[in-house]
Amino acid sequence: MKLLITGGAGFVGARLARTLLARGTLAGRALERVVLADQFAPPADLLADARVQARTGALLEQAAGLGGEGFDGVFHLASAVSGECELDFDLGLRSNLDSTRALLDGFRRAGQVPRVVFSSSVAVFGPDPAVPLPAIVTDTTLPAPQTSYGTHKLICEHLVADYTRKGYLDGRSARLMTVTVRPGRPNGAASSFFSGIIREPLAGETAVCPVSADVSHPVSSPARTVEALIAVYEASREAYGGRTALNLPALNVRVGEMLDALEQVAGPAVRARVRFERDERIAGIVANWPKGASAQRAAALGLRPDESFADIVRQYIADCEKAGNTAALAGLR
């Protein structure tokens, strides 16, 4: 089996690749070649695997060629993130819309009909005078995105559905919740602080939370997110249930509850490293996001959200320990 992961050098993409390579199979087929396409080279441990090949450069420049390589399966994760798209409208269009269409057209021209999982986002939902945003968004809540990023994701959901309707691919769109805790430094996503208020204090650094403690949002751990992406890929067409996007499982949690969990796991001194300093730009974006989500279709596939946010914090600590990343846990000493 030949598999493509766009955004394969990123945090979720690299974790997905490691998980699949360790399994050795996807949907019952042996993984013979895994191509990781990204702007940057994949981590060294992935490149050391003889089954892995890297395609480095802007996806828009690579898309047509990738589409013609004859892939059996695809995870399309590559995307410019929310904050970037708000600051640079053209960047968002190129990175999210133009590259996705070019990739799908490459598959259409090749005639391989690959199975494609597109990573959409909970950001497709937002408030609108004609469509009030419910307290909990469901699989059937009408999307009304209030950011360019959310709009791009929704448009791509419909593109994937229509290319599937036409028989050019077997597409499935999965709406990811905010994935936390992400390692490394903050990125351009408006949701970056959901990881930063946990990651930085554990590393012994001060973290700034740009929204109030009462802000609620659906989140998911990296492990549950990767598990869900694989399950969506491996589901039969009938089990997936139609062509429209489905929500992935979410733990609906307030910022204050996240910090309570941090204190429960790591102690009050670690929690004390978080200070609140409102950022109107970030707060304005987050105010237009769902406060919670449900995922009935994902539940039918056997998927469940994380048990608690304390479990998510513990998973991050365990991942850092496994990687030997002592600096990430310097604040625990």
Domain spans of the chain, in order of start: 2-176+221-247, 190-217+250-293+306-332
Can 149 be counted among the known catalytic residues? yes
For tokens 């139609």, the residue is 242
| pLDDT for 188 | 67
What does the pLDDT read at residue 120?
98
Tokens of 199: 């990651």
Closest to 41 in 3D by CA, of 56, 51, 63: 56
Q: Which two tokens stand for residue 71?
A: 């892939």
Element (H, E) at 2: strand 2-6
Joined tokens for residue 231 = 């399950």
Residue 256 in 3-state DSSP?
Answer: helix
- What is the full per-residue pLDDT of the chain (333 aa) written as tens digits? 999 999 999 999 999 999 999 999 999 999 999 999 999 999 999 999 999 999 999 999 998 889 889 999 999 999 988 888 888 999 999 999 999 999 999 999 998 899 999 999 999 999 999 989 999 999 999 999 999 999 999 999 999 999 999 999 999 999 999 999 999 877 767 789 999 999 999 999 999 999 999 999 999 999 999 999 999 999 999 999 999 999 999 999 999 999 999 999 999 999 999 999 999 989 988 888 899 999 999 999 999 999 999 999 999 999 999 999 999 999 997
E strand segments, 203-283: 207-209, 216-220, 246-247, 251-254, 274-276
Q: Domain 190-217+250-293+306-332: which topology?
A: UDP-galactose 4-epimerase; domain 1 (3.90.25)
pLDDT value of position 27 = 97
- What is the arrangement of strands in the sheet containing 178-179, beginning at the earlier edge strand? 178-179, 216-220, 251-254
- CA–CA separation, 254 vs 251, rounded Å? 10
How many Cβ atoms from other residues are within 10 Å of residue 331's Cβ? 18
Q: Which CATH architecture has domain 2-176+221-247?
A: 3-Layer(aba) Sandwich (3.40)
Whole-angstrom distance, CA of residue 123 vs CA of residue 90: 19
Pairwise CA distance, residues 189 & 112, whole Å: 34
C-alpha–C-alpha distance, residues 252 and 10, integer Å: 25
Q: Give the active site residue among 149, 163, 233, 316.
A: 149
Residue with tokens 């974006």: 285
pLDDT at 189: 77
